[in-house]
Chains A and B, each alone.
Chain A
């Protein structure tokens, strides 16, 4: 059950309403158009020969039988592309802002070879690309390739890879360190030395895969007229993909068009570029044939980005009343075989570790370490769930040391609403002073404690259980600096049919942009929502864009849409003033009709206006009804949340059941409550999967073990209960709409909250020494936790 919001009356416009989604009708009919659904005549299909070794040299390669196979159109070996496609660097993610540069970070640029040259550095790395008349035939041809490897020492374990003298993940590098930065404030060492309560623990997050149900894919076609390339893609960042394709294969940016069509979930995995996204357009360009590649699930799980694996050696010091005085953390982040996204995840973990708490003395060092495993990317939360797991587990450890209620320890350390905007004294990801713009953390916590009914749970724990299951309660608090810049744009046009069309660079992977942006534009303009069409993620329709990552689309594209809508509204009124021989100040636009204020009979529709505009005499040369506007957020909009969960642990089977789950969150003004709630709940579902079952496992030789959905355990409906939600609203002062991003937040809290609850259940049942240091809390791991120590 969702607890209903306290509405302060019905909103006047579309913004603030739970409008049904524009997207749904075609999707429930099976009429969506995902990349794999696009049929282009004579399209060729691709299969890759991928490395079967974690680290090896390729000593022999013979593709002659594959090339000779009927149905095979082309075979590309590393030597065929090395001089024709530039190696891949996710340049935007690799950037180090000046303020961060002053911290003296390490951020090694390690371009990814398009096809592995002499050296392969993880299982799944593409070595040969085969292009054939069908995927079946392409895979047949892969079987005909002879390849011999000479194995090199591989290192898979994160701690081992970070140790001095570890085997080198990449030949030619000095060590396995890809990223390093240390940042803090105050004097953590002294504060820890002086504090009466000090806890030191290691809390780790295991390796996950984003695993959207639609894998990554793309279809590229050379335009028979212009000669340019059109690429239909699952990407979250179409403009970046466009720029990279053009740069790496030597085309003008203007000659590459990238369109994200219907996309089946992204979660970060589709937010960074991988070499396949350059190879497919290259092949289409080279062969002058349409070429399509859709990753299969094996490729998705083993050869597309992994995420989350971090180790936190964390020390937290407190006074005897539970006030935190110092946080010291040594973070190791598993980057995989290359530094693909630089500081993004390591620094996100660093600058979100403190969360909603005031701490004077801080020393955090974060190190991105290479291992002979698949490269990693941000995944929904991007460093925050991992940092939150460490910090929130540490707070429970402090509470245990003091014999205090964990929620009370939290309460005593929260930054208050009266302190907003709050400067942490640290640098944010842009290298600027980190400032939380708005929020009310104590209020959220109070509501969560009340909703989960903490006293009732404690009382229940003191009574003998009915079925032997152990009850536990856990909390987690976090915040998320959303609305990542530098910009997003919106172009709004009145179309020849009198409808309104919005073009923006931020596509949807399921978040409902066609509905939400239409709500915003309809209000800004004064038209009905059914008169608005949204085209998101087509680079031919707006020249610049960033994309849908980092909980940024609503803040950046939403505000750009509103700005462009307001500009267009004025333009419409000015044009109508000419057409209606009136003054723009006397006109209004409502429900798609322009009328003279006070005499509604004198009116014209947008369709009539757009037909009249080019025919007006004496125009100023800019009469087209179109406006483009870019929004550049001045600061992050900081969203926040509290998760509270009650679990029941079966000590016989080790099974953890989530009995009750409460989220109180704050994400500024809400445009579509139905969609916003569902974004939170969806994130919680992913987070529950993460803490209860998901784990991308490698064996000691670097072979991926969980390479199918039979092995990589995804959360099922029966694992995720109905989530109870509440929300407070602290409009963000960083943007005119007062909105914040909330796409990621739901996924940040569950690992910490559930682990805290399970540990609470076990400890109160007499397993006083149990400490949960990592996930997933599968039945066998829970049984291990409660097994008598040998």
Chain B
């Protein structure tokens, strides 16, 4: 979660559905990266499309709209969700954090973002926001993360460019697991 600012943040109102849209409309108020957003949204509007096309936060990418690839992962009340499998009306009154909300207010990259740069953890960068959000949820929680848990979470997103090796390296460094010995390959016989 981003720390709440002492200043009163102004409420921003974003654009409405196209006039021809036939599904019911809902008024929602949602905290996005610490900013209060008010919007009128149609029933069927995907959270992904709401973030990208109404709030103009295009860092959340669409890879499949089927909940498989993980590119659209955002944090909802601190936990990773596939924004392509949620509807915008469902986030009324809740808090959404996207990749644009990871860097510090002064622009400094988060440790996970920095680790991806340091370890060449991205090539085309299209899947990267999804990985960053999933891994940030691990990095920011209080209980320590195990290698097994990390491996499990890495399997939640597709990357087509890197072969995952440098993503794994970046995540291990950012999570303080760089020097933890990996479990031996199952029953490797050694």
Contact = CB atoms under 8 A, between A and B. Distances in A.
A683 B161 CA distance: 7
A137 interface: yes
Nearest to B58: A37
Contacts of A608: none
A97 to B, nearest CB: 32
Contacts of B66: 297, 708-710
A720 interface: yes
B105 interface: no
A467 interface: yes
Given A30-B100, A212-B160, 11 more contacts: A28-B113, A34-B126, A71-B18, A72-B20, A213-B127, A265-B160, A297-B64, A469-B186, A510-B123, A678-B120, A723-B165
A215 B186 CA distance: 36
17 contacts: A21-B117, A24-B117, A27-B128, A28-B102, A29-B99, A30-B129, A36-B58, A133-B18, A137-B21, A140-B22, A212-B126, A213-B69, A678-B162, A685-B162, A685-B165, A714-B68, A718-B154
Contacts of A617: none
A264 B126 contact: yes
A31 B107 CA distance: 12
A588 B90 CA distance: 64
B93 to A, nearest CB: 24
B98 A681 contact: no
Given A211-B160, A213-B124, A718-B154, A134 B18 contact: yes
Contacts of A463: 189
A717 B113 contact: no
Contact of B189 (A20, A296, A471, A688): A471
Given A133-B20, A466-B189, A710-B68, A28 B161 contact: no
Contact of A29 (B44, B45, B62, B103): B103
Contacts of A132: 20
Contacts of A262: 124-125
A346 B111 CA distance: 47
A732 to B, nearest CB: 24
Interface string B59-93: 11111111011010000000000000000000000
Interface of B: 18-22, 42, 44-45, 52-53, 56-66, 68-69, 71, 98-100, 102-103, 109, 113, 116-118, 120, 122-129, 132, 151, 154-155, 158-168, 185-189
A14 B186 CA distance: 42
Contacts of B129: 30
Contact of A137 (B20, B118, B126, B189): B20
Q: Which of A21, A132, A297, A710 has the most CB of B within 10 A?
A: A297
Nearest to B45: A136
Interface in A708-722: 708-710, 714, 716-718, 720-722
Given A30-B58, A31-B59, A718-B151, A265 B98 contact: no
Contacts of B113: 28-29
Contacts of B100: 29-31
A25 B107 CA distance: 11
Contacts of A716: 154-155, 158, 164
Interface string A667-695: 00000001100100111111010000000
Q: Which of A24, A39, A213, A511 has the most CB of B within 10 A?
A: A213
A714 B156 CA distance: 12
Nearest to B182: A722
Nearest to A678: B120
B109 A29 contact: yes
**Leading 9 A-B pairs by shortest Cβ distance:** A30-B59, A685-B163, A71-B20, A510-B124, A264-B126, A467-B187, A27-B125, A709-B68, A30-B99
A468 B189 CA distance: 9
Contacts of A24: 116-117, 122, 125
Contact of A684 (B64, B65, B99, B163): B163
Q: Which of A37, A140, A262 has the most CB of B within 10 A?
A: A37
A17 to B, nearest CB: 13
A58 B118 CA distance: 55
A47 interface: no
A648 B161 CA distance: 25
Contact of B63 (A28, A214, A512): A214
A509 interface: yes
Contacts of B56: 39
B155 A718 contact: yes
Interface string A733-755: 00000000000001000000000
Contacts of B154: 716-718
A659 interface: yes
Given A471-B189, A718-B154, A71 B61 contact: no
B117 A510 contact: no
A132 B17 CA distance: 13
A442 interface: no
A254 B30 CA distance: 47
B117 A25 contact: yes
Interface string A433-477: 000000000000000000000000000100101111101000000
B160 A23 contact: no
A28 B167 CA distance: 12
A582 to B, nearest CB: 42
B165 A674 contact: no
A714 B127 CA distance: 14
A25 B68 CA distance: 26
B57 A28 contact: no
A213 B68 contact: no
A69 B20 CA distance: 9
Q: Which of A27, A296, A511, A657 has the most CB of B within 10 A?
A: A27
B21 A71 contact: yes
A709 B69 contact: yes
B159 A213 contact: yes
A606 interface: no
A11 interface: no
Nearest to A24: B117
Contacts of B159: 213, 685, 717
A717 B122 contact: no
Given A36-B58, A659-B185, A681 B63 contact: no
Contacts of B118: 20
Contact of B59 (A32, A267, A466): A32
Interface in A694-712: 708-710
A463 to B, nearest CB: 8
Given A264-B126, A265-B124, A682 B161 contact: yes
A718 B69 CA distance: 15
Contacts of B21: 71, 134, 136-137
A297 B58 CA distance: 18
A746 B162 CA distance: 11
Contacts of A467: 186-187, 189
Given A32-B59, A36-B52, A296 B65 contact: yes
Contacts of A29: 59, 99-100, 102-103, 109, 113
A509 B117 contact: no
B123 A674 contact: no
Contacts of A678: 120, 123, 162-163, 165-166
Nearest to A23: B125
Contact of A28 (B20, B52, B117): B117
Q: Which of A25, A34, A682 has the most CB of B within 10 A?
A: A682
A136 B165 contact: no
A263 B124 contact: yes
A70 interface: yes
Given A136-B21, A137-B21, A264-B126, A30 B98 contact: yes
A214 B58 contact: no
Contacts of A37: 52, 58
A65 to B, nearest CB: 14
Contacts of B166: 678, 681
B117 to A, nearest CB: 4
A717 B160 CA distance: 10
B188 to A, nearest CB: 6
A136 B50 CA distance: 13
